[in-house]
Amino acid sequence: MADAQDRQGETAADTKSEPFLQAVIQTAERPNLFARFSLTARILAVNILPLAILSGGLFYLDTYRTQLIDERFKLARIEAQISAEALAGVTRERQEALLVQIGLEQRMRMRMFDAEGRLWADSFALAEPAFEFDDVTDDSWEQEVARWLDRTVDTIVRAPAVTDYVEPEGQTADDWPELKQAREEGLSQVRLYDWVDGTPVITAAAPVGLNGATLLTVRNAVDITESVRAARTALITSVMLVLGASALLSLYLARTIVSPLQLLASSAQKVRLGREREVEVPRLPERKDEIGQLARSVSDMTLALRQRIDAVDSFAADVAHEIKNPLASLRSAVESLPKVSDADTRRELEQIATHDVRRIDRLVTEISDASRIDAEMSRATREKVDLAKLVQAIIGSREYRSENADHGIEVTTRGFAPTVLGVGVRLERVIENLLDNAVSFSPPDAPINVTIDNDGTCVTLTVCDRGPGIPVDQREKVFQRFHSVRPDGEDFGNHSGLGLAIARTIAEAHDGSLTAGERPDGEPGACLHLQIPAMQ
């Protein structure tokens, strides 16, 4: 009964989950843009795509570089203005000293131009240069790659073009656009240039005093480029390391998924082609994940299909064997009729032929019914069935047709109302077969006992006869197709041997069972027990 309840629960769960499964199947069957790619490729793409997006931070660093330059623009303007104020109103000697001091401290080149625009003081000429521009001819390959990456990023982000820094041939204020503009407008000016190594050069021009002198500062902001390149290198290194680790993990993940799926597909293909019948679909017992569940489900399904195929083959062979016997008898009788002139013998042969035709007709009917049960039960709609009322109706109908052979049928009902959820016409067939079996084995006028008991979880219908009983070693065989142990004196061929097999198939289709046993009172006879889950 517990097994029946478990199966009933599983059936109910399957019924509830059916809409969800339908939705999943419909979703899986929709055209998918990525369906043409292998599972390994898709796993790699899903894991690598976020890293590819993360690598977009390389282009964000260009914004970071722009912000740094903007800050340096402000600083250069302020430095130029403060230096110009410090230089105004002091002696020439003091101006030259300040140019050298500020230039060395701030690592920039400072030049003074007089009111006529002539250069009269240069911090690089007055003292050692505060910095030197990089000579790209002796750069290492790492620096060349860094410059190439800078140019690539600038091209992708469409950075505005920057004028290359070139020292003018002349040494007058008009040779510098920012100085010329500062002289004309009387305001400080800042310009951005690029050195050949890709580092920014920031110049600032500011008026000095009120007599028309101007100051020009030049700074090679190497630290900005170094800072951006360091950040970019760190990001690239991190992305590459994570990318490599992600690719390896993706390949490992793909292998743990794809390899068993390919193994299952190969085994299923062999099973489908019918080759190597002994091939077993791997069950992967060591895997406790969904792949393991799939493997075991496919293995169980394959085993069930093989059992079904074997059953069909065996059934077909049994059918051929069972029909062949009456056909041989019929053929013999028909072939003998023209050769026999004796009226009594001809009548006997005609009776044999008639009996064989009826036997073949009964076999074909039973075989057809047996082969349709599984399909019909899977499509049938179940409804509330009261087994007590159904048994009483069947007994009354059998009495009317004189099928009980003067056997009294005693019905006893115990427990709750014996209500089940099932297919009434099929349950009627089971009860008919059980009563037929009891009538055929019971001695003349012996009563047949029918007991219906509902313990709240399972309804048990027991049919007991007073015949010779069923030996213990035969109690399972009687449910096999075409297996028939008939009582002495019964006409040969009156039963197909399919009745109990059909009854058990219907019982199992109702999540129940049909078993054979002995009478509980110790008297001779057999009892057949039909158990079906009670309707809650």
Over residues 127-154, the mean pLDDT reads 85
Give 382-536's CATH code, choosing from 1.10.10.60, 1.20.1050.10, 3.30.365.10, 3.30.565.10: 3.30.565.10
Euclidean distance between CA atoms 96 and 125, whole angstroms: 10
Would strands 213-220 and 419-422 be described as parallel, antiparallel, or unpaired? unpaired
Alpha-carbon distances, residue 237 vs 113, 141, 150, 153, 303 (angstroms): 48, 17, 16, 17, 53
Helix (H/G/I), strand (E/B), else coil: 470:
coil
Write the pLDDT tens digit of every residue in 160-175. Answer: 888 999 998 888 999 9
Whether the CB-CB separation of 511 and 532 falls below 8 Å is answered with yes
Q: Which ranges of 134-216 does DSSP label H, i.e. alpha helix?
A: 141-156, 177-185
Token pair recorded at residue 508: 């199992």
What sign has the CA pseudo-torsion 389, 395, 400, 401?
positive
User: 431-456 in b/e burial notation, b at 16+ Cβ within 10 A?
Assistant: bbbbbbbbbbbbeeebebbbbbbbee
pTM of the model: 0.46
Over residues 287-313, the mean pLDDT reads 76
Which residues make Cβ contacts (< 8 Å) with residue 297, sequence separation at least 6? none
Helices and strands (DSSP H and E) totals, the chain: 13, 12
Residue with tokens 């047949």, as numbered in its chain: 448
Task: Say if residue 63's pLDDT is above 90.
Answer: no
Whether the CB-CB separation of 218 and 99 falls below 8 Å is answered with no
Helix (H/G/I), strand (E/B), else coil: 414:
strand
Q: Following CA atoms 418, 422, 428, 433 in sequence, which dihedral angle do they give, to the nearest 10 degrees?
A: -90
Euclidean distance between CA atoms 207 and 442, whole angstroms: 132
Task: Say if residue 17's pLDDT is above 60.
Answer: no
DSSP 273-288: HT--TT------TT--
Residue 406: what pLDDT? 79
Would strands 409-415 and 419-422 be described as parallel, antiparallel, or unpaired? unpaired
Q: Which long-range contacts (CB under 8 A, 24 or more apart) does 246-251 make?
A: 246/47, 246/48, 246/51, 247/44, 247/47, 247/48, 249/47, 250/43, 250/44, 250/46, 250/47, 250/48, 251/40, 251/44
- The most confident of the ranges 212-216, 243-247, 398-402, 443-447 is 212-216
Euclidean distance between CA atoms 481 and 312, whole angstroms: 11
Whether 54-234 shares its CATH topology with 382-536 is answered no
Residue 253: what pLDDT? 74
Query: What's the one-letter identity of residue 80?
Result: A
Over residues 384-399, the mean pLDDT reads 91
Euclidean distance between CA atoms 291 and 286, whole angstroms: 11
Euclidean distance between CA atoms 393 and 396, whole angstroms: 5
Residue 142: what pLDDT? 81
Task: Say if residue 429's pLDDT is above 90.
Answer: no
Neighbours of 262 (CB within 10 A): 11
State the chain's maximal CA–CA distance in angstroms. Answer: 163
Question: Of the given ranges (319-323, 401-405, 506-510), which has the lowest mean pLDDT?
Answer: 319-323
Residue 491: what pLDDT? 47
CATH H superfamily, domain 54-234? PAS domain (3.30.450.20)
Domain ranges of the chain: 1-30, 54-234, 382-536
* Among 465, 448, 447, 460, residue whose Cα is nearest residue 519: 465
